[in-house]
Amino acid sequence: QVQLQESGPGLVKPSQTLSLTCTVSGGSISSTTYYWSWVRQPAGRGLEWIGRIYTTGSTNYNPSLKGRVTISLDTSKNQFALQLSSVTAADTAVYYCAREDGIGISFGLDVWGQGSSVTVAS
């Protein structure tokens, strides 16, 4: 059974870069049938889709993040990563990694990590 686990600093200073890693266990990140995604949730608020990456390295990002986001793959470690640059307090949130099942047709975000809380503060 596939499991996802986020890791990274819980505190990031304003204007710096937030970096999180999602480790995939029980399955291969090189699979051709999944996207690997990031979703965030500010405290007490709703869900925001950040972006996703495919095994080829192809990415889709949310334009609302104004080019500050980069998602990458590390197939040797079976991990994918999120980088969000020039962070502000508005980027404080719980960040989830998730697997999207289906290419060309979406069967949903069917596996989620437990979430990583990130606070942006000096």
Q: Which residues bind another protein (CB under 8 A)?
A: 39, 46-49, 51-52, 60-64, 96, 100-101, 105-110, 112-115
Tell me 26's DSSP state: S
Contacting residues for 35 by C-beta, under 8 A, at least 6 apart: 52, 53, 54, 99, 100, 103
Minimum CB separation of residue 87 from another protein in Å reads 19
Q: CA–CA separation, 15 vs 58, rounded Å?
A: 27
Residue 103, judged by CB atoms within 10 A of its CB (0-12, 13-18, 19+), counts as: middle
Minimum CB separation of residue 43 from another protein in Å reads 12
Minimum CB separation of residue 76 from another protein in Å reads 26
Question: Considering beta carbons, is residue 46 or 67 the nearer one to another protein?
Answer: 46
In single-letter form, the type of residue at position 113 comes to: G
Question: Considering beta carbons, is residue 74 or 110 the nearer one to another protein?
Answer: 110
Question: Considering beta carbons, is residue 12 or 109 the nearer one to another protein?
Answer: 109
Minimum CB separation of residue 32 from another protein in Å reads 18
